[in-house]
Amino acid sequence: MPDKETEKTSLKGGPLNGVKVLELGSLIAGPFAGRLMADFGAEVLKVEPPKKGDPIRKWRYLHEGTSLWWYVQSRNKKSISMDLSKLEAQEMIRELAKEVDMVIENFKPGTLEKWGIGYEDLKKVNPKIIMVRVSGYGQDGPYRNKPGFGSIGEAMGGLRHLTGFPDRPPTRVGVSLGDSVSALYAVMGGLMALYYRDCKGGEGQYIDVALYESVFSLLESSIPEYDKFDVVRERTGSSLPGIAPSNTYQCKDGKYIVIGANGDGIFKRLMEALDRPDLRDDERFATNDGRAKFADFLDRIIEDWTIKRELKEALRILDQYDIPAGSIYSVEDMFKDPHFLARDMICEVEAGQLGKLKVPGIVPKLSETPGSIKWAGPKLGEHTEEVLKETLGITEQKYKELKDSGVI
């Protein structure tokens, strides 16, 4: 066993330093999970198809043919180009599986099995392996073979039904929330399996993450409310149904402020800030269940106050009374905000020919073993030669043959 000093030194690269992950996924959910593992020190080997690479390389804004998103989503990873439909590539995956702790994949269920690199296949060569599987509907059930995307998961999982205003069609959140939440569950499941294996003497296992279930898990009290009261929660715009006051209010300068005064003590302080002692001391508003009955009335009172003040003035006053309140930030606001900058939430990284690029910082922040950004998303196949020769011991001649035949 290594002594404590040696152990402490090894963790300087992050708490997952020494953990090896093979990423077989593409686009968002699987690769976002891989990125989070890599942020905290895991060695993540990302497998991409030759010539094309991960499709996310062509998503949204491109610089000289490469998406800026790519540099974020694949930071700290090593890129291996390999055609998984070819037998020699499948054999190399089985060999790599002997060397890694975890595989992350988000193919349609059955795809890896078709290629002979599913969980049961890899378990034969490495009984300790952990496989994190992300898919639209999960690895079983009647919908398992349906194609799934995060947007469909958000719809089936109930989020889209709740998003927007009641007099308009359902809308989406402005980011790929279903994929991102699934990635968080994927990491959590992978780390729990790692803990069970390495600290509890357990074996390897696979983790089944379904996009729709990840979204479904966010629905708060919707299930018991429907079960007992037949209540179907509907779209309510910017308000928070049953919890008051909590809403978005317009200010004098046309900007908007979000105020969350749904705590009993906070509500009293808000009424003091609004110079409404009559409402502060009104027993009807002493607790949330009473306030919720008068949510529209309280919202009108609050907006009557905000509409007479510019956003900065409203924030200043509410800060004095210790009221949770904030403006609605755009990314431009974040770039200028001293708190974002003080907490290193916007970092700068070298991105090859692109030069310096600002990217999101690390979340969460660990006091003793923080994560780090070592490099931006790599070139396609940048580490293929290194990994195949050093890890698998492939000769120069064999490497050339694999390249000429299109396997890598």
Q: 39, 83, 101, 179: which is the annotated catalytic residue? A: 179
- Residue 255 shares a structural domain with residue 307: yes
C-alpha to C-alpha distance for 186 and 196, rounded to whole angstroms:
15
Contact 388, 80 (CB under 8 A): yes
Is 337 a domain residue?
no
239, 302 contact by CB (below 8 A): no
Annotated catalytic residue 179? yes
28 and 102 housed in the same domain: yes
Same domain as 351, residue 213: yes
Q: Domain with 309 in it: what CATH number?
A: 3.30.1540.10
Question: Which phi and psi angles does 310 have, rounded to 5°?
Answer: -70, 160
246-301 pLDDT, tens digit each = 999 999 999 999 999 999 999 999 999 999 999 999 999 999 999 999 999 999 99
Same domain, 184 and 69: yes
Q: How many domains does the chain have?
A: 2
Q: Output the pLDDT for position 5.
A: 52
Residue 231, in any domain of the structure: no
Q: Are residues 64 and 189 in the same domain?
A: yes
pTM of the complete model: 0.92
Q: What backbone phi and psi angles, to 5 degrees, belong to 371?
A: -75, 175
Whether 224 is covered by a domain: the verdict is: no
pLDDT over 80 at 9, yes or no? no
Mean pLDDT of the chain, nearest integer: 95
Q: In whole angstroms, what is the distance from residue 277 CA to residue 20 CA?
A: 61
Task: Specify if 236 maps to a domain.
Answer: no
Do 293 and 355 belong together in one domain? no
Same-domain pairing of 112 and 140: yes
Based on the fold, state whether residues 122 and 34 are members of the same structural domain: yes
- The answer to the question of residue 32 being in a domain is yes
Residue 298, token pair as written in the block: 């309280």
* CA of residue 50 relative to chain centroid, distance: 27
Task: Kindly report, residue by residue over 26-84, the tens digit of the pLDDT.
Answer: 999 999 999 999 999 999 999 999 999 999 999 999 999 999 999 999 999 999 999 99
Here the CATH number for the domain that contains residue 194 is 3.40.50.10540
- The whole domain housing 373 covers 9-217+347-404
User: Is 129 in the same domain as 64?
Assistant: yes
